[in-house]
Amino acid sequence: MINTLDFLSHNPEQTRRIGMRLGAVLQAGDLICLQGDLGAGKTTFVQGIAQGWSSLDSVSSPTFILVNIYRRNDQSRLFHMDAYRLDSTPEAEELDLDSMLAEGALIVEWPERMAGIIPAERLWVNLEHVTDEEREMKFNAHGKRYVELLEVIQHAIAGDH
Ligand code: ADP
Ligand code: MG
């Protein structure tokens, strides 16, 4: 059983493809945290996740509204949160993560800005700029469900040549 995975993405399309494979298996209650500087590829990864999840809506950066909600044909929901503009823990506490997770999967950009309210069980991804087109992606699984998701990602990476 592994709980960490280190991967070098060579271009945005590859980041999207890995995201698609993850998106295809996401279920209500799944929490994906994406940490990394501006331009690290968080939203690009979310675009792949939403596509793999069969979203009817396109992904945009939830800059002013904190949470985007994506739909698909079966009534399920995918929540995409960007905590960049959060500047206090009380503000973060207003966000009802539990109700979102009860209804769908939740992806959070800038999760470290709301560290106090992030559940212990999650997939945590660190993205880092390496060169123009290369991004390092470090996956950390916290909890049994997330070890499963890590295996999906591992297979996606192994098949992506
Ligand atoms: P963030 O949400 O972390 O600020 P974005 O996904 O919005 O980042 O932007 C990442 C930018 O870097 C995009 O313009 C994308 O095309 C570019 N990019 C270049 N190489 C990669 C890669 N390997 N993976 C993801 N994005 C990449
Ligand atoms: Mg972004």
Among the listed residues 56, 83, 54, the one whose alpha carbon sits nearest the alpha carbon of residue 67: 83
Mean pLDDT confidence for 38-43: 97
pLDDT reported for residue 87: 76
* % of the chain beyond a pLDDT of 70: 97
pLDDT reported for residue 11: 98
Q: What is the rounded CA–CA span in Å between residue 48 and residue 115?
A: 25
SS3 label, residue 144? helix
Mean pLDDT confidence for 141-148: 98
Residues within 6 Å of ligand 1 by CB: 9, 11-12, 15, 36, 38-44, 109, 133-135
User: Relative to the CA of 133, which ligand 1 atom is closest?
Assistant: 20
Question: Which residues neighbour ligand 2 (ion) by CB within 5 Å?
Answer: 42-43, 61
pLDDT 10s digits, 72-91: 999 999 999 999 888 777 77
* pLDDT band at residue 138 using 50, 70 and 90 as cut-offs: very high
Task: Please say if the pLDDT value at position 102 is more than 90.
Answer: yes
Strands 4-9 and 134-142: antiparallel
SS3 label, residue 108? strand
Q: Which amino acid does the sequence have at 50? A: A
* pLDDT band at residue 3 using 50, 70 and 90 as cut-offs: very high
